[in-house]
Amino acid sequence: MRFTVDANVLFTFFWEDSVFSSICQKQVLGLFSPEFALGELRKHSLEIMKKARLSTEEFTDRKKKLALRVTFIPLEKYAIFLKQAASKIKKGLSNEEYVKLMKDIDFLALALRLHCPLWSNDKMLMKQGSILVLNTQEIIELVSADSGF
């Protein structure tokens, strides 16, 4: 199974006993995220370390482990799908919702590029309805059905 993973799900990798971390360790999944998500991790590193109660060294170690489990894709590999993703999600959303959703357009474009669902718990992403978005509970159910997780 392959999934594009949004930044908020990636953040949970740093929490002890997180579902994402557990699934990453127990399952052989194809996990992908836009390369810019690494910048989001850096940008929010202090907040992540505080919430996860990690030292700088522990954060760095876990970030390296995350990079072994998730393939980070550079923009040029999915850039041609940005416009397609933007036009797909516009249907059925208000202008305000559309503007909010555009902050996550890279994740949606990458999901289109890879022909796989997006793993996210963001209700706005789920609301768009044009690109398949699965929340963590749905991922657990899929993984459990596939392998007895």
- DSSP character for 130? S
- pLDDT (average), residues 112-123: 95
* Phi-psi category of residue 128: left, alpha or beta, with phi > 0 → left and psi -120 to 50 → alpha: alpha
- pLDDT (average), residues 53-78: 95
- pLDDT (average), residues 17-25: 81
Nearest to 83 by CA among 114, 103, 109, 107: 109
pTM, entire model = 0.89
Distance separating alpha carbons of residues 70 and 30, to the nearest angstrom = 7
Domains of the chain, CATH where assigned: 2-147 (3.40.50.1010)
pLDDT at 146 over 70: no
